[in-house]
Amino acid sequence: MPQAFGLRHKLFLALIGLVISLTLGLLLIVESRQRASIVHQMEKRGETIATHLAAVSTRSLLTYNFVTLEQDAEQIAQARDVLYTIILDRDGRVAVYSGRSEKQGMILPDPVSQRAVQTRATLIQQVPQTRKTVEHYDIAVPVFVPGSPEKWGTVRVGLSLREMQLEIAQT
At 39-48, the pLDDT tens digits run 899 999 999 9
Alpha-carbon dihedral 73, 76, 77, 80, rounded to 10 degrees: -170
| pLDDT of res. 168 | 82
Amino acid identity of residue 97, one-letter, is: Y
pTM recorded for the entire structure: 0.80
> What is the bridge-based pairing of β-strands 82-88 and 136-144?
unpaired
Q: Give the three-class secondary structure for 33.
A: helix
- Tally of CB atoms within 10 A around 38: 17
User: What does the pLDDT look like over 102-148, one tens digit per residue?
Assistant: 888 889 999 999 999 999 999 999 999 888 888 999 999 999 988 87
| pLDDT of res. 3 | 56
| pLDDT of res. 169 | 83
